Amino acid sequence: MGIIGAVRIVFIAPFAFAPKATVSARMLPMAKALVRRGHEVHILIPPYDNPGESGRAWADDGVHLVNMRLPGGARGFALHLALARQLVRHVQRLQPHVVHVFKPVGVGALAMLGLPPTFVDNDDWEGRSGWVDVNPYPRLQRWVMIAQERWALRRARAVTCASEVLVARTHALRGRDAGVLLLPNGPDPRWRVEVAEAEARRDVLRRAFGWDATTPVLIYAGTVPLNHDLDVAVRALATLVHSPWRWTIIASGAGVPHLRAQIEQAGLAARVEWHAFMPHAALVERLVAADIALYPYRDTPINRAKCSGKVMDYMACGKPMVVSDVGMNRVYLDGGRCGLLTPPGDVAAFREALRFLLDHPAEAQALGRAAQAHLWARFDWSERIGALERLYNGG
């Protein structure tokens, strides 16, 4: 049945608000755009990966966020099942017009078992050839996640997808005529204010961070998973040791120890400074103060399906960047007009792109400004949220 006018909408998150970015970078900006259109939006969060958030509830620009309470003593599947039951009960109390489950695997997919058909958001390649083959899940969990993904995408009332590859993959499961909407990530409106404030203090921030005015600062900010692709950047930078630069890495994830070891082995440790996860406003300050952002990919199913939140952060902060030409990166960077795209896994091409930006600061700054303008012109949620409303209305 279609919906008309302002309605109550529930988003079901896949995991905690932080340190992973699906809730903060995808769900929350989307929810805020719906609130600005007059809807009531609740985000329900199962924070099994951040126990300190258990039971916390707050509001952000009119969006209601609630963490489920972690049951004492529960682990593994028992914990996920208990959280799924909490989610179902919370949804039933709210009696929403629309329920949208983000990710077709995990706690949210378990909750779907206790709910009428919901909308589902697909923002990653989770099943075969995807994260189940990368992360060290037990065999039974891998089988369950593969089955969940197929079942949830087929059962959904309609599916939103973060990338073109995920649209095609979802169509393969549901059929060409089924409800599938391409809905790439977009920026949070408050980023404009955060970025403007940081830009006005850029010189002060650089001094506060201990960055001098003459040494370019490269930056990477985001999760470092197992089997990460940052070795491409390490190998490229190892051949640029005669150029002045330093590298700031703001990262969490299971791949961080391996990346540290690679940097040590390459003899670059003295040029690298490390930071753990930080609040978004603090991250924006580092990005604005830095000179060049980087993010190498390899050509894998996961990367082809990716819709990178960190690329959005780089663009919002006006950073010239070097990223690999895989998946949605070409869409975000407007075919290379807003950043340098290099062939995936190509160390030499990545090195030469970095060298160009280091040697041509004026051209680099122009690329950064173009990226910032393109992000707001093409991916602002306020201009795109109508498509999601139409999907909710069955059209």
Predicted structure pTM score: 0.90
pLDDT of residue 395: 58
pLDDT value at residue 73: 81
DSSP letters along 25-77, please?
IIIHHHHHHHHHTT-EEEEEE--TT-GGGTT-EEEETTEEEEEPPPPTT--HH
From CA 381, how far away is CA 200, in angstroms rounded?
25
Residue 18, pLDDT score: 85
- The reported pLDDT for the residue numbered 3 is 55
**Domain ranges (residues) in the chain:** 8-186+381-392, 190-378
Query: Helix 280-289 and helix 190-200: axis angle, to 10°?
Result: 50
Provide the pLDDT for residue 4. Answer: 56
Indicate the residue type of 117.
P
> Do you find a cis peptide bond into 46, omega within 30 degrees of 0?
no
Q: Do 190-378 and 8-186+381-392 fall under one CATH topology?
A: yes
Query: What's residue 1's pLDDT?
Result: 39
Low-confidence ranges of the chain (pLDDT < 50): 1-2
Task: Give the pLDDT confidence score for residue 2 in this predicted structure.
Answer: 45
- The CATH class given to the 8-186+381-392 domain equals alpha beta
Whether the Cβ atoms of residue 340 and residue 370 lie closer than 8 Å to each other: no
Number of alpha carbons in the 13 Å side-chain half-sphere of residue 170:
31
Calpha distance 284→177 (Å, rounded): 41
Instruction: Please name which of 3, 11, 127 lies closest in space to residue 64, comparing C-alpha atoms.
Output: 11
CATH number of 190-378: 3.40.50.2000
Predicted local distance difference test score (pLDDT) of residue 136? 84
